[in-house]
Amino acid sequence: MSYCYQKEKNGQYKDRHEQEDVVKYRQEVFLPLVEKLERRMYLHECEGKIIQEPALTPGKVPLYEWKHDESTFYANDCHCTRWVHKSESPTPIHKGEGASIRVADFVSPEFGWCHSSDGNCSTRVLFKAGKNRDGYFTAEDVQAQTHLMLDIFEEQFPNSSTIAVLSFDNAPSHQHRSQDALSAHKMPKNTPKKPKNWFPSGEVKM
């Protein structure tokens, strides 16, 4: 009857992807910008073969894209589906995913992982996420890693001989308010006692 008992496959996430403002930005701002930048880049197919070389006008230098990659690995990572012989018996396994480690780095199709010419300096960060571990990878951590990447890039390509294009995904940790921005997280849960919530004139503090 063409039915197979298996885990249901997940479709593409649709959270806000088709909102009018999101579609407008993607079609009228993001995609035209990417197309413009790609004209000055090397483009590769899946196997790494170059399928387009930069189209440079006089005075222009090539662009090289560096993607910011973050991956989380768990101690108990394993395949859940495999070929099992009928003679095999169940094997005890660890419960849960186990301890995690996050790896964050910059990578380029042309140059690989970002590191200095002598190999002594790298942008790779190993981070044990968790409240009682290394904390969480914040926007400040991403900024520090980005500054290091730019220092390494400028050391390898001095005098503006080429330009790096840095690509980040839209993760919450890549977004950051200014230090003096209003935030609901910093607001008191309950109304403070007098006189902390009143001005001398008797007006309520805002």
Confidence of residue 33 (pLDDT cuts 50, 70, 90): very high
With H, G, I as helix, E, B as strand and everything else as coil, classify residue 129.
coil
Task: Give the tens place of pLDDT for each residue, 56-89.
Answer: 889 889 999 999 999 999 988 877 788 888 888 8
| pTM over the 0.75 mark | no
HEC per residue, 53-102? CCCCCCCCCCEEEEEEEEEEEECCCCCCCCCCCCCCCCCCCCCCCCCEEE
Least confident window among 3-12, 33-42, 43-52, 56-65 = 3-12
Mean pLDDT of the chain: 84
Q: What is the pLDDT of residue 96?
A: 82
| pLDDT above 60 (res 204) | no
Distance CA(206)–CA(182), nearest Å, equals 11
In this prediction, residue 197 has a pLDDT band, given cuts at 50, 70 and 90, of low
Q: For 111-166, how does the pLDDT look when each residue is reduced to its tens digit (9 = 90+)?
A: 999 999 898 999 999 999 888 898 888 888 999 999 999 999 999 888 778 899 99
